[in-house]
Amino acid sequence: MATSLTKTLYKNMLLSVRVAKTNGKINLAKPIFMLSIIDGIKNGLILNNRIEYNVSLITTYQNLFALYTGDGSKLPMCPYYYLESDEFYHLQKDKSVRSPSAKFLREHVEYAYLDESLWDLLQDSAVRDEYREAIINYFIKPKN
């Protein structure tokens, strides 16, 4: 069972995700992508620590992006790829250095995965709810 310290550590890491700012507004792509992963686990769309770039992930992301920003046309290519700059998220890929595109992701990225400890924490619905609320309150609500 995860310790309270581990739970707090990962919550802090999720709230410390590196986000771009444009004209003083943060880009919500990475926080919304993390919400997509959390919702995917909750809804049984992500069953193991192997986050594939697929239709269900894209749809979940677009629905959440539309909900929080009003724009449902965004694709999760960039956060899927660039979240790797944060410590808890990893890509199983070849070592090509490229800009992400749907074609590039299909051809060069097998899947993404989380730290095993974070994955284990996200199997608990109370932890998922806590992390989801924290992300929304920290990144999204202050901007509306």
Burial environment of residue 18 by CB neighbours within 10 A (0 to 12, 13 to 18, 19 or more): exposed
Sign of the CA dihedral with 18 first, then 12, 77, and 89 last = positive
Q: Are 132 and 142 in contact (CB under 8 A)?
A: no
- Residue 96: its pLDDT value, please? 64
Residue 74 pLDDT: 86
Partnered with residue 90 across adjacent β-strands are 113
Domain that holds residue 27: 4-143
pTM of the full structure: 0.89
pLDDT of residue 99: 67
Helix (H) or strand (E) holding 91: strand 89-93
| Nearby residues of 88 by Cβ (< 8 Å), 6 or more positions away | 10, 13, 14, 114, 115, 118
pLDDT computed for residue 144 by the predictor: 43
Give the number of domains in the chain: 1
Helices (H) and strands (E) in the chain, counts: 7, 4
Q: Tell me the pLDDT of the chain (144 aa) as tens digits.
A: 468 899 999 999 999 999 988 888 889 999 999 999 999 999 999 999 999 999 999 999 999 999 999 887 888 999 999 999 999 999 988 766 566 777 878 788 889 999 999 999 999 999 999 999 999 999 998 654
